[in-house]
Amino acid sequence: MNKPVIGLAAAVAVAAIGYLGTQAYVGQQVSKQVEAINQQLVAHNEILVNRLEYSRGWGSGVLHYDLVYRPATGNPWYQLLDELLPQPELHWQGTADVDHGPWLPGNGFGLAQLQGSIPLPAMLRPWLPQYPGQAPMLSYRGETHLDNTLSFTLEAIDYKGLIQDPEKREEVQWEHSGAHFNVRLHPLKQQLTILASLDALALDVPDESLRMGIENLQLKADSTRLQPFVWIGDASLALDNASIQADQNHLSLQGMRISSDTVQNGNKLNSTAELELGPIELDDMRLGESRLRYSMQDLDIEGYAGLMRAANRLGDIDDLDQHWPSLRPHLKRILAGHPQLRMDELSISLGEPYNATASLGFEYHGDGELTADFAENIWNDLSAVGQASLTDSAIDTLMELFIAQQNAELGSSEQVLMADVLKMQLTLQLQDNPFARRTDNGYLFDFALRDRMLTAHEEPVMDLATLLAMGQALMPAPEPGLSSGGVVELSAGFSPDPYVIRATSGGDDLVDEGYGEGCIGYTTIAEANVELFYEAGSFPLIIEASAPTDTALIVIAPDGGVYCNDDRSLYELDPRVIFDTPETGFYYIWLTDLSGERSEADISITEIMP
d(CA 322, CA 310): 12
Q: 412-431 and 392-406 are packed helices; what angle lies between their axes, rounded to 10 degrees?
A: 130
Together in a domain, 466 and 494: no
The answer to whether 463 touches 452, Cβ cutoff 8 Å, is yes
Given CA atoms 431, 432, 438, 443 in this order, what sign does their dihedral have?
A: negative
Which pTM value belongs to this model? 0.66
Nearest to 541 by CA among 491, 496, 588: 491
Strand blocks (E) in 228-348: 230-239, 241-246, 249-253, 256-265, 268-277, 280-282, 285-287, 290-300, 340-348
Which of these, 309, 310, 330, 328, lies nearest to 370 by C-alpha position? 328
Note whether 169 and 207 are within 8 A (CB): no
Instruction: Name the nearest CA neighbour of 448 among 432, 437, 428, 464.
Output: 464
Are 29 and 146 contained in the same domain?
Answer: yes
Asked if residue 59 and residue 129 are part of one domain, the reply reads yes
What DSSP line would sit under 566-591, residue for residue? S-SSSS--S-EEEESSPPSEEEEEEE
Min mean pLDDT across 47-51, 316-320, 457-461, 476-480 is at 476-480
Structural domains in the chain (count): 3
Closest CA to 132 of 158, 155, 154, 156: 158
Inside any domain, residue 344: no
Distances (CA, A) of 289 to 280, 281, 284, 345: 8, 11, 16, 14
Judge if 47 and 127 occupy the same domain.
yes
- Asked if residue 236 belongs to a domain, the reply is yes
pLDDT band for 504, please (50, 70, 90 cuts).
Answer: confident
Residues 505, 460 within the same domain = no
Are 67 and 125 part of one and the same domain? yes
Give the confidence band of 410 by pLDDT, cuts at 50, 70, 90.
low
* CA angle at 486 for the pair 485 and 491, rounded to the nearest 5°: 95
Q: DSSP letters of 395-430?
A: HHHHHHHHHHHH-TT--HHHHHHHHHHHHHHHHHHH
- The pLDDT of 23-29, averaged and rounded, is 67
Q: Is 15 or 389 the better-scoring residue by pLDDT?
A: 389
Q: Identify the DSSP state of 515.
A: S
Claim to verify: residue 17 and residue 151 sit in the same structural domain: yes
In a domain, 535, yes or no: yes
Mean pLDDT of 310-339: 78
Closest CA to 187 of 144, 123, 135: 144
Contact residues for 400 (Cβ-Cβ < 8 A; gap 6+) = 419
* 146 and 249 inside one domain: yes
pLDDT, position 481? 42
User: Going by C-beta distance under 8 Å and a sequence separation of 6 or more, which residues neighbour residue 103?
Assistant: 109, 110
Same domain, 442 and 567: no
Where is the domain boundary, 423, 446, 473?
473
Q: How many CB atoms lie within 10 A of CB 288?
A: 19
CB-CB contact of 576 with 530 (8 Å): no
CA atoms of 301 and 330, how far apart (whole Å): 10
Pairwise CA distance, residues 479 & 513, whole Å: 36
Which residues are within 8 A (CB) of 597 and not within 5 positions of it... i.e. 6 or more apart? 505, 506, 549
Q: Using CA atoms, how far apart are residues 518 and 590, in angstroms rounded to an integer?
A: 13
Residues 120, 260: one domain? yes
- Domain of 547? 488-606
Q: What percent of the chain has pLDDT over 70?
A: 86
Say if 469 falls within a structural domain. Answer: yes
**What does the pLDDT read at residue 485?**
39
Distance CA 588, CA 557 (A): 7
Residues 462 and 513 in one domain: no
Three-state DSSP class for residue 260: strand
Q: Exposed (0-12), middle (13-18) or buried (19+): which is 100, by Cβ within 10 Å?
A: buried
Query: Which comes out higher in pLDDT, residue 179 or 64?
Result: 179
Please say if the pLDDT value at position 471 is more than 70: no
**Confidence tier at 120 by pLDDT (50, 70, 90):** confident
| Residue 311 dihedral angles phi and psi, to the nearest 5° | -65, -30
Structural domain contains residue 317: no
Q: Residue 553: which of 582, 530, 535, 580 has the closest Cα?
A: 530
What is the pLDDT of the chain when averaged over all its residues? 82
Half-sphere exposure of 374 (CA within 13 A, CB side): 12
pLDDT at 7: 53
Q: Which pLDDT belongs to residue 203? A: 92
Given this model, what pLDDT does residue 476 score? Answer: 40
Q: H or E stretch including 374? A: helix 374-381
- Is residue 27 within 8 A of residue 19, CB to CB? The reply is no
Q: Are strands 530-535 and 488-491 parallel, antiparallel or unpaired?
A: parallel
* d(C-alpha 336, C-alpha 365), whole Å: 8
On whether both 495 and 528 belong to a single domain, the answer is yes
Residue 549 sits in a domain whose CATH number is 2.60.120.380
